[in-house]
Amino acid sequence: MESEKLEQVWRAVCDQVKSYNNIDPSQINAFFSRLQPQAMSEDFLMLTADNDFIKTWIERHYVDFIKQALMDLYRTAFTVLIEVDIAAEAARANPAAPAPATGASTAGAPAAPATSAGAATGTPASDGGHAAAGEPAVVQPAVQQTATEQAPRAAHAAAAYEARGCEELEGDPYDEDETDGPDRPTSTLTFENFVIGDSNRMAYSMAVAVAEMPGKAHLNPLFIYGKSGLGKTHLLRAIQNYVHETMPNLSTIYVDSAELLSDYMEASAAHDKEKSSYKNFKTRYEEADVLLIDDVQYLQGKKQTLDIVFQIFNKLTGQGRQVVLSADRAPKNIDIDERYKSRFNSGGTFDIQPPEIETKLGIVKSFVDEYRATEGKASFAIPDDIQMYIAESSSSNIRELKSAVTKVIYQMTFFNQPDLSLDDVRSLLENHFSGGPSKRLTIADIQKEVETFYKVSHADLVGKKRTRNIIYARQIAIYLSRQMLDLPFNDIGKKFNRDHSTVMYSVTNVEEKMKESRELREELETLKQLIREI
């Protein structure tokens, strides 16, 4: 089949897959753009992926949808084969290639990725970054495109940067101001010290892809969301750091939404948009090559600021310059105009889930390692049982986790208690955690929050009514009671006037729905946070 015809067929397949229920079109754009059709016959399609991670991910999650799309389009059962592009693999393996290096030897570059187990032990995955024990390696996208395929300004800057032997360009119009400010990188937040686990692997991979090649259409904007304390800011700062280190002649600006709002209010104080203060405000952001805006959910209800952000957003993406956004919820769940939601969701949208125990333990170990390095105390150690207790007891908020480690470190060093026992740590952190064993929740607490969230009465929640909204709220409350309190089904049933089998069915039903519905998973995380804050 001719290459042009093959590309047309592949585009039709992609569009067909995006039309299916429970498919996120932005993720299809992100992943399928990393596939190239190579050959096709009556019942066979061969694709190549640019690395092993993409190959494995597509095979696990999307190959059945590709087969279904081919069946729907051609009424024929297809065999779909995906192979890794050998040339792309060789380009990544060749350190002399002109692509930016992705090893720990490059300043600010991502370290060799680890699996969850690797993250927990602080040991990088072996074999050139491939994950161990059958797990897919974290994508470290190689730069394969030519300069003309990249975003215009990023391509120009990268080519000039390489031509000068990676020296600083003199008089480059896009150089950053050397004074301190929000567009300066935060050196401590890099890809190297981001602990990777199953809960954040995809968001991390896409952040790396954007950092290495800012401005690519399928990831512009990049939207990362997840509740507070899961690492969104870390990834945004890591992108800023990486671009600053590898392409210093590109202007990178990181700004929190609260700061952006404050800047706008100050610039607009005179209520005269011709004033230089307003022009300077808008020009600063419009001249960024990479603009990173954190916590955009705080712009809800700020119509004028949103309008300005939208103008800046459209101008930058229209010129092929990169925009990265973060929020504590998906774009569709932010209370803003539909046109903003649509544009925010038009590139790649990826969530960070609460970390599993292995990832939290990896973060604890990483924080202890950082303390040893910065304080020059090579022999300092926190016993393994104490590290595990902190990981198991903490909520999903990484800030809470790190502050618990800090408390233990200070107790062992400043208060001279190097032989701190697990019982001592339990007493020390008794009131520290917002969730976990130290939080004394009750079924009544959970019922109250669920009733408020779904606007149902307590009498209806525990009564006999079976309207759809009441059954839904009741099953959610039962599921949360089981998960957060780990009580027997029978004990939970007594509080809802239900028997053992009804409670078991409710829990199983919610668990099954969670597999298919990201919206439900977000609802449950929001409810858990509300309950923990009681």
Q: How far is it, in rounded angstroms, from Cα 495 to Cα 178? A: 63
pTM value is: 0.51
Q: How far is it, in rounded angstroms, from Cα 349 to Cα 222? A: 6
Q: Tokens 């990725």: give the residue.
A: 113
CB atoms within 10 A of CB 493: 20
Question: Which two tokens mark 402?
Answer: 């790190």
Please give the class, per CATH, of domain 443-532: mainly alpha
pLDDT in tens, 170-194: 333 223 333 334 444 455 888 988 8
Q: What is the pLDDT of residue 436?
A: 46
Q: Which residues are annotated as a binding site for ATP?
A: 229, 231-233
CB atoms within 10 A of CB 482: 22
Peptide bond into 221 cis (omega under 30): yes
Q: DSSP assignment, residue 417?
A: -
The SS3 assignment for 395 reads coil
Question: Which two tokens mark 410?
Answer: 């200070």
The SS3 assignment for 177 reads coil
Q: What is the pLDDT of residue 514?
A: 87
Q: Which fold has domain 3-89?
A: GMP Synthetase; Chain A, domain 3 (3.30.300)
Pairing of strands 290-294, 44-49: unpaired
Cα 500 → chain centroid = 38
Q: Which residues are annotated as a binding site?
A: 229, 231-233
Residues 6+ apart with CB under 8 A from 43: 76, 77, 78, 79
Q: How far is it, in rounded angstroms, from Cα 209 to Cα 146? A: 16
3-state per-residue secondary structure call for 323-382? EEEEECCCHHHCCCCHHHHHHHCCCEEEECCCCCHHHHHHHHHHHHHHHHHHHCCCCCCC
Is the CB of residue 335 less than 8 Å from the CB of residue 301?
Answer: yes
Q: What is the pLDDT of residue 57?
A: 78
Q: Which fold has domain 162-170+177-351?
A: Rossmann fold (3.40.50)
pLDDT in tens, 263-291: 887 777 655 555 566 777 788 888 899 99
Q: How far is it, in rounded angstroms, from Cα 237 to Cα 184? A: 10
Per-residue confidence in pLDDT tens, the chain, 534 aa: 677 888 889 999 999 998 887 787 777 877 888 888 988 888 888 899 877 777 877 887 888 899 999 998 988 888 888 888 766 555 544 544 444 333 333 333 443 333 333 333 333 333 333 333 333 333 333 333 333 333 333 333 333 333 333 333 333 322 333 333 444 445 588 898 888 888 888 999 999 999 989 988 889 999 999 888 888 999 999 999 999 988 988 999 999 888 888 888 777 765 555 556 677 778 888 889 999 999 998 888 888 888 888 888 989 998 999 999 999 888 887 878 888 888 888 888 898 887 888 888 888 998 898 888 888 888 899 999 999 988 888 777 788 888 899 999 988 988 888 899 999 998 888 878 765 443 467 899 999 999 999 999 999 999 999 899 999 999 999 999 988 876 778 888 999 999 988 998 998 899 888 888 888 888 898 898 888 776
Distances (CA, A) of 325 to 166, 184, 292, 452: 29, 18, 6, 30
